[in-house]
Structure 1
Amino acid sequence: MLLGSLLLSACASSGAPAPGPNGQGFSNIPYADWSDYEPPYRFYPGDEVEVSVLSAPELNKTVPVQPDGRIAPSLIAPVMVADRTVEDVRAALGQAYAAQLLRPEINVAVKAAPMKVFVGGEVGTPAVYDMNGDVDALRAIVQAGGFKPTADTRRVIILRRGPDGRGMIRRVDLSRGLHAEGADLAPLRRFDIVYVPRTGVAAAGLFIQQYIRDLTPVQFGFSYALGSPSIR
C-alpha cells in the first residue's frame, strides 16, 4: 500500500526547505512548511475497524481492512474505507445500511492500527517496519539494523505528510542521541519516512527526487513496493 519535533538548522525551523548535505535546499520540490499538525485518522489495510449498528446490535462486528482497502461488514457488500476518516466511513456505512435497515445508526471506531514507518538509506536493513508504542527515529533506525559505518548520523531526514497532502521535510542530528541523555530523538508518526544519508556524499537530494515525489506514504496510495529491502 501507497506511509516529531526535530533538531534542525534555523532555516528548516523557519519553514524553508531543509538543506541538503552540501547546504543546498531542495528548492525544486514543493514541500509544505513543517508543523505539528495532527491530521484526522485515516484507515489503511491492516487496520481493524469496530463497526457498531446501534439499531441492530446483532450486526456488530470487528473487521480488518483488507489489502484492497475494503472492509466486509455484516449484511452489506464490502465498503471502501482506505484513506477515509472515521466520519467518512461512518457516513458510507450508514448509506449502505439504509438499503437494509429502516433507521440505521452506525458507530465506527479504530480497533487496532499498526504503526508503519519507512526506514531507508545507510541502515542495516532498509524496509517498512511495524512499530509498537511510542516511536522515535533513533528507535526505528535501531530496528532497521542500526547505522552503517557510512551513515551521516547528523543529517537524518524525516519526511511526513503535511496538512494539505504535500510532504513536509526536516532534518535531525541523531548523533547526540547515541551519547547524550535527553537528546531529541525525533518522535515519529504513522507512515513517516526516515532516511539516513551517506557521510560526505550528496545522496539525499537524489533519493528525494527519485522516490519522494511519488512516495507511498506521502501520496497515500496502496502499494508497499518501496518497502522492499532495496530502499536506498
Structure 2
Amino acid sequence: MAVTRCILLLAVAALGACTGQSLSPKQAMPEGFAGWEDAVPAYRLGPGDRFQVKFTLVPDMDEEVMIGPDGSAGLRMAGQVEAAGLTPTELAGLIETKAKRWMRAPQVSVGLRETPSNRAYVGGSVARPGPYLLNGRVGVMEAIMLAGGFDREARYEEVVLIRRNPQNKPMLRTIDLRNFIETGTAVGDVPMAAGDILFVPRSSIAETGLWVEQFINRVVPFERVFSYTIGRTHGVSTSFP
C-alpha cells in the first residue's frame, strides 16, 4: 500500500512539473494525521528534568527533585510518583493527592528548573540531523540552523512539521521557508515544541510520504521521549535504540 501511494505521488509530482503548477503535500498525506492545532502544547516533563516543589503553607517541605531514567521521581511528602509525561500543573495535582496522607489540605506548585528533555528532532536534508535542545522560544528556521542549515538538495518550501496534539494524535503541516530565506521575513514561522519532528524533504512530496511511512510509522513509535545517535563519515548512518 505504501509503495503504491508513493508511486502515485511521484506521478502527480511529475504532472505538476510539466504543467508548471505548484503542488502541496497538505493534500497528499491526510490519512493517519489529526487536524492541525496552532496552540503550542503545554510542556510535559521527561527523564532528566529537574523541578522545584513548593508547599504554600509548609515551606519546610519544599524540595528540588530530578526525574530518573524510568520517568519517576521520589518526594518526601508524596513518595515515588510517575512524573514523566505530565505537565507541571498535572504533577502538582498528583503531589497534592499523595501528600494528603500526611497533610490536611496541601497546596502545591511545581516550577521547572532544568529541562534537558525539552528536545525536538530535525531530520532530512540538513547538515546535522538529530535531537536538539529547545532553549526558550525556538522557531522552525532556528531549529534548522541548529542542525547546521539546509543541504544543497533541500526543498525549502515544503518543510514538514509533525507534532502530537493534546489527545496524543500526530498532526502534520508543511511550512514554506523560501520567503524567509529570500526576504528575511519570518511570516508563517512556527514555534517548536518538545517532541516535535521536523523533516526537510529533498525534492518531492513522494519522498515525504515514504519518510513518514518508513521512519515515523515503522522505526520510531513516536514516544514523548526519544534518543537518537547520528554518525556521519563518508555517508550517514543512523541507529535507533
Unpaired runs of at least 5, structure 1: 1-17
> Deviation at 1:56?
3.0
Counterpart position of 1:88: 90
Please list the CA deviations of residues 110-159 of structure 1 after superposition, one character each: whole Å capped at 9, or x if unmatched. Answer: 33434311100111111000132221111111111111112112211111
Q: CA 1:34 to 1:24, structure 2 compared with 1: closer, same or farther past 3 Å?
A: closer
Larger of the two Rg values belongs to structure? 2
Q: Which one of 209, 214, 218 corresponds to residue 213 of structure 2?
A: 209
Answering whether residue 229 of structure 2 is matched by residue 228 of structure 1, we say yes
Compare the two structures and name the one with the higher helix fraction: 2
Counterpart position of 2:186: 183
Q: How many Å separate the matches in 2 of 1:165 and 1:215?
A: 18
**SS of residue in 2 equivalent to 1:169:** strand
Q: How many Å separate the matches in 1 of 2:121 and 2:212?
A: 14
Preserved contact between residue 161 and residue 217 of structure 1 (Cα < 8 Å) = no
| RMSD over equivalenced CA pairs, Å | 2.8
Preserved contact between residue 37 and residue 162 of structure 1 (Cα < 8 Å) = no
Q: How many pairs align? A: 209
Preserved contact between residue 70 and residue 81 of structure 1 (Cα < 8 Å) = yes
**SS of residue in 2 equivalent to 1:148:** coil
Q: How many Å separate the matches in 1 of 2:219 and 2:196?
A: 11
Matches within 5 A, 1:54-203: 54-114=56-116, 115-184=118-187, 185-200=189-204, 202-203=206-207
> Deviation at 1:219?
4.1
> Deviation at 1:163?
3.4
Answering whether residue 38 of structure 2 is matched by residue 36 of structure 1, we say yes
Normalising by structure 1, what TM-score? 0.77
**What amino acid does structure 2 have at the position aligned with 1:46?**
G
Preserved contact between residue 60 and residue 74 of structure 1 (Cα < 8 Å) = no
Please list the CA deviations of residues 86-131 of structure 1 after superposition, one character each: whole Å capped at 9, or x if unmatched. Answer: 3332232123323334543322223343431110011111100013
Q: How many Å separate the matches in 1 of 2:204 and 2:24?
A: 14
Please list the CA deviations of residues 21-66 of structure 1 after superposition, one character each: whole Å capped at 9, or x if unmatched. Answer: xx86124x32111121343442222322211123432221121222
Counterpart position of 2:17: none
**What amino acid does structure 1 have at the position aligned with 2:120?**
V
Please list the CA deviations of residues 71-99 of structure 1 after superposition, one character each: whole Å capped at 9, or x if unmatched. Answer: 22235532111112333322321233233
> Deviation at 1:19?
4.4
> Deviation at 1:210?
2.1
How many percent of aligned residue pairs carry the same amino acid?
A: 28
Preserved contact between residue 43 and residue 194 of structure 2 (Cα < 8 Å) = no
Larger RCO, structure (CA 8 Å, separation 6 or more): 1
**What amino acid does structure 1 have at the position aligned with 2:95?**
L
Normalising by structure 2, what TM-score? 0.74
Q: How many Å separate the matches in 1 of 2:106 and 2:115?
A: 26
**What amino acid does structure 2 have at the position aligned with 1:164?**
Q
Moved more, 37-46 or 114-123: 37-46
Q: How many Å separate the matches in 2 of 1:217 and 1:51?
A: 32
Unpaired runs of at least 5, structure 2: 1-22, 231-237
Q: How many Å separate the matches in 2 of 1:215 and 1:163?
A: 23
Preserved contact between residue 192 and residue 217 of structure 1 (Cα < 8 Å) = no
**What amino acid does structure 2 have at the position aligned with 1:131?**
L
Counterpart position of 1:13: none
